[in-house]
Amino acid sequence: MKTNAARILDRLGIPYTLREYVVDPEELGAEVVAQKVGLPPGQVFKTLVARGDRNGVLFAVVPADCALDLKAVARASGDRKVDTVALKEVQPLTGYIRGGVTALGAKKVYPVYVDESMMSQPEVAVSAGVRGTQLIIKPADYVRAVEATVGPIASRKQ
């Protein structure tokens, strides 16, 4: 299935593969996705939507087996405080549903903060923009795609 994120990568000439898996609506956690796509949790990155008190909505891209460090994101974004947005806000803000959020092709452009551990991986999986499909991509290519469509990645440390 070609998603908007995959079409963006095609347009940019960035190589990737799509890896599909069976979705259990009761088990949408990134660690479960990692198991289903056959990669260690440190290579599967979840895209979370958060909001800072000064600078607004942002994407935070972190490994499946890590919790988002809200204080680190606040420091990186120039906010005093950052919290994840309520689940009911995710789709109106991004155009994506939980389990399918990606910074590529979102409804609006928001700053993206990527955990620096991504760059030490040979390849990573990120959501393709729908539940049940992951993009397998080299970290530098993911960063290049995000920067080409969203702008510079604001920070690589979460």
pLDDT bucket at 25, cuts 50 / 70 / 90: confident
What is the predicted pLDDT for the residue at 158?
Answer: 46
Task: Note whether 65 and 115 are within 8 A (CB).
Answer: no
pLDDT exceeds cutoff 60 at 155: no
- The CATH architecture annotation of domain 4-149 reads Alpha-Beta Complex (3.90)
pLDDT bucket at 144, cuts 50 / 70 / 90: very high
**Tally of CA atoms within 13 A in the half-sphere of 97 that contains its CB:** 6
Calculate the alpha carbon distances from 44 to 7, 32, 96, 126 in Å: 21, 10, 18, 6
pLDDT exceeds cutoff 90 at 128: yes
The domains of the chain are located at 4-149
pLDDT exceeds cutoff 80 at 100: yes
Sign of CA dihedral 91, 155, 64, 42: positive
Give this prediction's pTM.
0.94
What tens digit of pLDDT does each residue of 36-56 get? 999 999 999 999 999 999 999
